[in-house]
Amino acid sequence: MSWNDFAVRLVLIVLIPLIGIFLGLLYKGFDRKITAMMQSRIGPPWRQPFRDVRKLFMKENIIPDNAVPWIFNGAPIAALVATLVALVYLPMGPFEPVMEGYGDLILVLYLLAIPAVAMAFGGLASGSPYATVGAQRELVLMMSYEFPLAIAAVTIAWKYSSFSLGVISSDPVWNNVGMMGGIGLALVLTTMIAVLPGELSKIPFDQAEAETELAGGILVEYSGRNLGIFYLAEVAKMVVVGTLMIALFFPHNISSWYSFGGPEFGGFILADVGADILFFLLKLLVIIFGAVSLIRVAFSRFQIDRASYFYWVPMTIIGLLGTFLVVLEGVI
C-alpha cells in the first residue's frame, strides 16, 4: 500500500464514523417525526436529536456512589467505539468498505453485539436495582435475537462462499437464485426485518429500558456526557444495521440500471455516484421506517419471555426454513 492510499484510507476511517453519527441523528429525527404523524401528534422537529446531544454534553456527568466508576464510564465509550468501527467495514452506496480485506461479516456481527454487552455491564456497574433488571433483560434479548441474525448472515455468506461484505454487495443475491431460493431468501429477509427492532432496542423490544416499569431501566443512572455517548451509539447503530441489511439484500445501485453520464473524476462518473448515494440514503430511510417506525407504532411492548420466545422459536424456524430452501436449491 502506497503512502497516498494509506493517507486516504486514514482520512476515510475518521470521516465515515462522523458521517454515520450525522446520518443517525438525522434519521432519528425523521423517525420521531414520522412516528408522531402516524399517532396524530405534532412531534418534535427533525433536528431535535442534534439539540438533545448538545444538551447532554453540556450537562453534569453524575456517577452514583454505589457504582464501579471505570466500568460505568467505560461502557458508553465501548458501545460507541464498537459501533463506529463496524461502519468502516460496511459498503455504503457505491463505495466499497474502507477496511475491505481486513475483516468480514463475522467481525461485523461481533461488533454489533458489543454495544448491548456494554450497556448491560454499565447497568450492572451502576448499582441500581432498576438498571440491574434492565441489564438482565438486555442480555436475555441479545441471546435471543443473535441466533436468527446469524442464520440470515450465514445463509447469504454460504450463497457467495464468502464472508466478505465487499464480495456480497458487489452482486445482489436475488440475481443468483431461482424460485425456490427466492422464497428462501424472502423468509430469511423476514427474519432479518424482525431482528432489527430487537437489535436497536425499539418497541416492542425495549424491555431493558421500559420507562413505565423500570424508570429507564438500564440507563436510569446515566446522565450528562455518558448518556450522550450512549445516545450517539444508539443512532450510529441504527445506521450500521440498516447498512448491513442493504449490503446483504439490497445492494443495487441506480447506476447499474441507468447511467446519467457527465464529467468523471478518479474513474467515477460524478452524476452516477451522486445518484447512487441518494438512492442509498433513500433505501436506508425506507428500512428504518419499515423496521423501526412502523413496527413501533403498530405494536406495544412485549413481555420479556414472549420477546425471547418470538426470536428463539418462530423467527428461528422461519430463518432455518429459508436457509434450507436456499441450500436445497444450490445442491439440486
Strand, helix or coil at 264? strand
**Average per-residue pLDDT for the chain:** 85
Which residue ranges make up each domain of the chain?
Answer: 3-331
Model confidence at 132, pLDDT cuts 50, 70, 90, reads confident
Q: What is the mean pLDDT of residues 277-306?
A: 87
What is the distance between the alpha carbons of residues 206 and 305, in angstroms, rounded to a whole number?
A: 13
User: Count of residues for the chain?
Assistant: 332
Model confidence at 270, pLDDT cuts 50, 70, 90, reads low
- Cis peptide leading into 64, omega within 30 of 0? no
189 pLDDT more than 90 = yes
Per-residue confidence (pLDDT) for residue 245, from 0 to 100: 92
14 pLDDT more than 90 = no
Per-residue confidence (pLDDT) for residue 9, from 0 to 100: 78
130 pLDDT more than 60 = yes
274 pLDDT more than 80 = no
The H-assigned helical ranges of the chain are 3-38, 48-58, 69-87, 105-125, 129-160, 165-170, 179-199, 211-214, 224-249, 270-288, 294-298, 304-310, 316-331
DSSP per-residue string spanning 19-84: HHHHHHHHHHHHHHHHHHHHTT-----TTHHHHHHHHHHHS-----TTS-HHHHHHHHHHHHHHHH
Return the minimum-mean-pLDDT range out of 3-12, 158-167, 274-283. 3-12
Unique residue bearing C-alpha cell 450492572: 124
Backbone angles phi, psi at 209, to 5 degrees: -100, -55
Q: At what angle do helices 48-58 and 224-249 cross, to 10 degrees?
A: 140
Cell representation of residue 78 = 465501548
Q: Could you report the per-residue pLDDT of 215-266, keeping only the tens digit for each?
A: 667 888 888 899 999 999 999 999 999 999 999 998 888 766 666 665 665 5
Q: Could you report the per-residue pLDDT of 89-129, keeping only the tens digit for each?
A: 998 877 788 887 655 788 899 999 999 999 999 988 988 88
Model confidence at 2, pLDDT cuts 50, 70, 90, reads low
**pTM value?**
0.90
Per-residue confidence (pLDDT) for residue 4, from 0 to 100: 65
Angle at 287 between CA 9 and CA 97, to 5 degrees: 15
273 or 286, greater pLDDT = 286
Q: Could you report the per-residue pLDDT of 18-47, keeping only the tens digit for each?
A: 999 999 999 999 988 988 888 888 888 888
- Other residues' Cβ atoms within 10 Å of the Cβ of residue 69: 10
Contacts of 278 (CB under 8 A, 6+ apart): none
Dihedral of alpha carbons 155, 159, 162, 167, sign? negative
Model confidence at 267, pLDDT cuts 50, 70, 90, reads low
- Other residues' Cβ atoms within 10 Å of the Cβ of residue 22: 14
Per-residue confidence (pLDDT) for residue 3, from 0 to 100: 66
H helix or E strand, kind and range, residue 265 = strand 264-265
- Other residues' Cβ atoms within 10 Å of the Cβ of residue 332: 8
Per-residue confidence (pLDDT) for residue 1, from 0 to 100: 57
Q: Could you report the per-residue pLDDT of 147-177, keeping only the tens digit for each?
A: 999 999 889 988 888 888 888 888 888 888 8
Q: What is the mean pLDDT of residues 46-66?
A: 89
Q: Give the CA count within 13 Å in the CB-facing half-sphere of 132.
A: 6
